[in-house]
Amino acid sequence: MALNIITEQDHGVVIDLVYATKNNLAGKIVYRQAVCALHPDAEACLNKAVVYARQAGFTLKIFDAYRPNKAQEIFWSVLADPQYVSDPSQGSNHSRGVAVDVTLLDANNKELDMGTGFDAMEDASHHTCTSLPEAVQKNRLLLLGVMLHAGFKPIASEWWHYELSNSHEYPMIDSDLVTV
Ligand SMILES: [Zn+2]
């Protein structure tokens, strides 16, 4: 199964793969080598999301896309909580190439305030969190609208995570585009 490489130039996104840095829940570099890559079906939806976001004056920023299952094993060893981390024996939809972690940048390339940072494993990251300021709720709804319109669906526990609605029909992908 071929993954397509996503680039800032070709796709009009900003890419910051946090697992290629130490700034992530594992506290260390997880991706020794990484490119941003998605299954072609997810890439097609991403392309739509880029257009819808752009029409409203925003740019999509990607934190993670394809993730090898070996990385999933590392995250599971750090946090074995299925609400936030998929059990590697089940496989993450990121490892199927059909999930993407995103936020929106404004016209000044500044991230919208989503109430928490990416990968904040807490109640405030849930879509249903009611204690967030209106401005944050609005920003999350904006991202939700863009992504739903493009064909993605959200998950309840992470405002940044979007995936294809039939993700589980896709097989796990073992690609060396991202190495652990
Ligand atoms: Zn995700």
158 noted as active-site residue: yes
Domain ranges across the chain: 4-169
Rounded distance from Cα 108 to ligand 1 centre (Å): 25
What percentage of residues in the chain have a pLDDT greater than 90? 87
Choice between 57 and 78, residue whose per-residue pLDDT is larger = 57
Rounded distance from Cα 100 to ligand 1 centre (Å): 6
Average pLDDT rounded to a whole number, residues 62-83: 93
DSSP the chain: -PPEEE-HHHH--EE--GGGSS-STTSS---SB--EEE-HHHHHHHHHHHHHHHHTT-EEEEEE----HHHHHHHHHH---TTTS--TTT--GGGGT-EEEEEEE-TTSPBP--SS-TT--SGGGSTT--SS-HHHHHHHHHHHHHHHHHTEEEETTEEEEEEETTGGGSPP---TTSB-
Please give the structure tokens belonging to residue 173. 């992908």
Whether 125 and 85 have beta carbons less than 8 Å apart is answered as: no
At residue 1, the pLDDT reads 66
Query: What confidence tier does 83 reach under pLDDT thresholds 50, 70, 90?
Result: confident
| Residue 73 clears pLDDT 70, i.e. is over it | yes
| Residue 142 clears pLDDT 70, i.e. is over it | yes
The answer as to CATH 3.40.50.300 being correct for domain 4-169 is no
Rounded distance from Cα 133 to ligand 1 centre (Å): 24
At residue 84, the pLDDT reads 87
Close Cβ partners of 32 (under 8 Å, ≥ 6 residues apart) = 179, 180
Please give the structure tokens belonging to residue 43. 């890439």
The residue from 43, 134, 158, 163 that is catalytic is 158
28-67 pLDDT, tens digit each? 999 999 999 999 999 999 999 999 999 999 999 999 999 9
Q: In whole angstroms, what is the distance from residue 177 CA to residue 12 CA?
A: 20
